[in-house]
Structure 1
Amino acid sequence: MPPAPIFDHDEFAQSLRDDGFRFVAGEDMRTHLQEHGSLQDWNVFADSWNDLAPDAYLARVGQQRRRRHAIFRAGREGAIERRPHQPHYQSLSYNTLQGDIERWFEPVRDDIAQSQTLGTVLAFCRDFFSALAPQTPAWHIELHQFRIEARSDQDGQPTPEGVHRDGVDYVLVLLIDRHNIVSGTTTIHDGDRRLLGSFTLTAPLDAALVDDARVFHGVTAVTPLDPEREAHRDVLVVTFRADGTPAS
C-alpha cells in the first residue's frame, strides 16, 4: 500500500494572510489534525459536551449557554502544558456585554484536558499559528467548550455580544455536534463591519480559522428544527495570543 499523502497547511495559511479567515470542511480538517496526533478517543471527547455547566454570567439575557474553560501554555516546540485554573477576562472594548469582569467558569475535566483528541487539536493549532507568527516564541492558549441551547420559546445565541473580536491573535472554532437546529451561520466582517464572508458549520470537525487581529466574527441565532425536541450547537473554541501579553 502506498504511503498516505502528506498535506501541508500552506493553503490555509494563505487564506488567513489574504482574507483573515478560512472555513475548513470536516473531512479536510480531520486529515490535517491527524498529521499532529490521534482522534481515537473522539467519541469520549465529544460526549463531554453533555457535562458542561450553565454560564451564570448570562442570567440576565437567558441561560442558553453551557461551558467549561481551561488555559494552556505552548512553546514553539515541546509539551503543551495546562496552567492552573484562571478566570476568563475581556475588556469592554472587546466584549460590550460582559467586559471588564473576571469570569470564572467550571474547568475542563482532567480526562478531557489530557485526551488524545484535545492534544491533537492543540498541536495542530500551535504548529499552524506559529508558522503565521514566526516572531512569537510561546503562546497563551484559552480553551472553551460551548453548548448553545435553542428552545421553542427562545433562540440560542452563540455570540450574545454580537459581531466582535476576541482580543487575541488567532482563533479556531471547531464544530463538535449540532442537533435539531437551524441557522448558526458564522459571519466574518472587516473593521468597518462590512461582510467579508459567511458559512455554516454543519458537520463534526467543520472549522473556522480566524486572524482575530484583522477581522470581526459573529454567529447568528440558532432555533429548533423540531420545537418539541432538545436542540443544541456544540463547539470547541481555542484562542491563541502571544504569551506574556496582557489580556485585551
Structure 2
Amino acid sequence: MITIEDIDQALANSGYIHLAAPALQQIVGWTGEQWQTFAASWERLGEDRYMADGGRYRRRRHAAFEVRGGDLVRKPDQPHFQSRDYNPLNGDVQRWFDAVETDIAESAIVASIFRSLTPLFATLDRRAPTAPWHSEMHQFRIETSPEELGRPTPEGLHRDGVDWVLVILVARQNVEEGVTEIGGADGRRLGRFTLLDPGDAVLLDDRRIRHGVTPIRVTANAAAAYRDALVVTWKASGAP
C-alpha cells in the first residue's frame, strides 16, 4: 500500500514517480462509474490544428484553473502557450483548443486530483497550503494508422515549463510501444516504462525532469488505434 508520504519522498529524492492505477486510485479516489463517464469524454475531442510537423494524429481539449489548496476555480477559456525553449516544434504560438466540457472539468475525478495532489506540491515547494497555482488540464488522444505513426510527444524528451506534471493513461486501444522516457535536466536517461492500464500514471517535477513518449504503432490494421491521456500541470502564481 502506497501512502502520500511515499510519493512525497520519491518526488523529493528522484523528481518523479511511476504509479500503477491501483496506487493512484488509492490516493486520489474514484469509482468505476465515475471513471467510465470521465473516460468516455475522450470520444469527443477536437482536432489539434497546430501541429508544425503536418500531422493530423492528435486530438485534444484544454482548460485552465486557479487552484488554492484543494479548491479550484475555472478560468475563462484561454490559449495554451509554451515558448520554443520548452517546445521547439509548436512553441511561441498562442494555441486555442476546444474547451474541456463543463461536466468533465467539474467532475469528481478532476476535483479529487486537485484536492489530493495540490497540498503535496505545496509541501514539497515549501509554499503556504492555500498559495495560488495556475493549473492547466489537457485531454489528449493520439491516433495511429498503417499510414501514420502517432506521436504523443513529437517534440521529443522535453520539459513543459511548469512546476509539477501529472500524466494519467486513460485508454490504449490496438497500439504497441508508447514507452514513457524519463531524463534529467542534464540529459541523463533516468527511466523507461509503459503506461499500460487505465489509471497508470507518472508524477514529475518539471524543473528537474524531462519526459517524453515514444511513437505508437497500430497492431491490427482494421481497427481504430489510439492512446488517450490526461495531463494536468501546476505552476506557482502570486506570492509564495
Using structure 1 for the length normalisation, give the TM-score.
0.91
Q: Deviations over 1:146-195 (max 9, x none)?
A: 00001111110000111100000000000111111101111011123221
- How far, CA to CA, are the matches of 1:121 and 1:11 in structure 2? 17
Match of 1:82 among 55, 68, 74: 74
Match of 1:174 among 168, 171, 184: 168
Q: CA deviation at 1:244?
A: 3.8
Tell me which amino acid in the other structure corresponds to 2:77.
H
Partner of 2:90: 98
Partner of 1:43: 36
Partner of 2:216: 222
Q: CA deviation at 1:131?
A: 2.3
Tell me which amino acid in the other structure corresponds to 1:24.
L
Q: What is the DSSP-based 3-state SS (H/G/I as helix, E as strand, rest coil) of the residue aligned with 1:89?
A: coil
Contact conserved, 1:54 with 1:63, CA < 8 A, in 2?
yes
Note the 1:93-172 alignment, pairs <5 A: 93-135=85-127, 137-172=131-166
Note the 1:66-77 alignment, pairs <5 A: 66-77=59-70
- How far, CA to CA, are the matches of 2:96 and 2:117 in structure 1? 24
In structure 2, list runs of 5 or more residues that go unmatched: none
Contact conserved, 1:40 with 1:117, CA < 8 A, in 2?
no
In structure 1, list runs of 5 or more residues that go unmatched: none
Q: CA deviation at 1:133?
A: 1.8
Q: CA deviation at 1:60?
A: 4.0
Percent identity reads 42
Q: What is the DSSP-based 3-state SS (H/G/I as helix, E as strand, rest coil) of the residue aligned with 1:44?
A: helix
Contact conserved, 2:69 with 2:115, CA < 8 A, in 1?
no
Q: Deviations over 1:13-40 (max 9, x none)?
A: 1111111110000011111112xx6664
Q: What is the DSSP-based 3-state SS (H/G/I as helix, E as strand, rest coil) of the residue aligned with 1:30?
A: helix
Partner of 1:54: 47
Match of 2:16 among 18, 21, 35: 21
Partner of 1:32: 27
Using structure 2 for the length normalisation, give the TM-score.
0.94
Partner of 1:184: 178
Contact conserved, 1:139 with 1:240, CA < 8 A, in 2?
yes
- How far, CA to CA, are the matches of 1:146 and 1:132 in structure 2? 28
Q: CA deviation at 1:12?
A: 1.1
- How far, CA to CA, are the matches of 1:203 and 1:38 in structure 2? 16
Length, aligned pairs only: 237
118-127 vs 22-31, which deviates more? Answer: 118-127
- How far, CA to CA, are the matches of 1:150 and 1:233 in structure 2? 9
- How far, CA to CA, are the matches of 1:124 and 1:198 in structure 2? 26
Contact conserved, 1:169 with 1:240, CA < 8 A, in 2?
yes
Tell me which amino acid in the other structure corresponds to 2:211.
H
Q: Deviations over 1:179-238 (max 9, x none)?
A: 111011110111232210011000011000010000111100000111221100000000
User: Where do 4+ consecutive residues of structure 1 move more than 6 Å?
Assistant: none
Tell me which amino acid in the other structure corresponds to 1:101.
V
Contact conserved, 1:39 with 1:116, CA < 8 A, in 2?
no
